[in-house]
Amino acid sequence: MKLSKNMKHRNYTRKLLLLLCGYIAVTLFGCGKSNEAQERRREEEAQKSAESTQNRPGSMTGTNWHIPWKAPDPKHPNGPLITVMIADAETGNLSVQDSNIHLRLDGVHAQLFRNARLAAKVQASEVNTDKHSRIIVGTGGVKVVSITDPPDTVITADRMTWDTRSSKVIAEGNAHAIQYRSQGTLPNETFGDRILFDTETGKLSVSGAPDENRK
């Protein structure tokens, strides 16, 4: 029995999404508890499965996304994957374009990790990232709260960028930062067009004048 062109397309799309989900679960977002050998074997299998479809477009959209993103540890590249980000979103879209995997999330609450340790919590209207760059971009009004004991820095801006391979978060557009100090002292408040924040050291670098229309 011959399959219609539309049925072939649906079957191909279904296979692509299944392969994409498996590939994402291991290479981009990691997987559940497993030993190192199992984790590496799954990664190799997912890579082989994805190679045949990675140049073909495909996408998947859904609601109530929960994504634990894991990646190789720069200090131990042959060791187990480490957590980079855990994100919860109201809606999301996952797509393959030009051999790259793109992710867009809307209504996001996320946790950012540095060296496998929780570094900051983020709220954003929209978050975009992709497998090749490993750069996370939040837009539409973003809030970052650094995680120390106790949390001491809160940053808000129109847009924020974080390269997951570093500890630097760049806040741009109506950037505002508050750093809380010891009890009994006033917090240090900073405004600027651009604020560079190091989640590892807690240091801030401000450049540009704040928006004159800021209230």
Find the angle CA(175)-CA(164)-CA(196) to the nearest 5 degrees: 25
Is residue 161 classed exposed, middle or buried when 0-12, 13-18 and 19+ CB atoms within 10 A define those classes?
A: middle
- Please tell me the distance from the alpha carbon of residue 50 to that of residue 64, in angstroms, as a whole number: 25
Q: Which residues contact 36 (CB under 8 A, 6 or more apart)?
A: 79, 80
**Is 189 part of any domain?**
yes
**Is 33 part of any domain?**
yes
- Please tell me the distance from the alpha carbon of residue 63 to that of residue 77, in angstroms, as a whole number: 33
Q: Which domain holds residue 39?
A: 5-207
**Is 56 part of any domain?**
yes
**Is 215 part of any domain?**
no
CATH at 88: 2.60.450.10
Does residue 87 surpass a pLDDT of 60? yes
Q: What percent of the chain has pLDDT over 70?
A: 67
pTM: 0.67
Per-residue pLDDT tens over the stretch 138-169: 999 999 998 875 567 899 999 999 887 787 88
Domain total in the chain = 1
Of the candidates 188, 192, 189, which has an alpha carbon nearest to the alpha carbon of residue 174?
Answer: 192
Six-digit token string for 178: 């508050």
Q: Calculate the average pLDDT of the chain.
A: 75
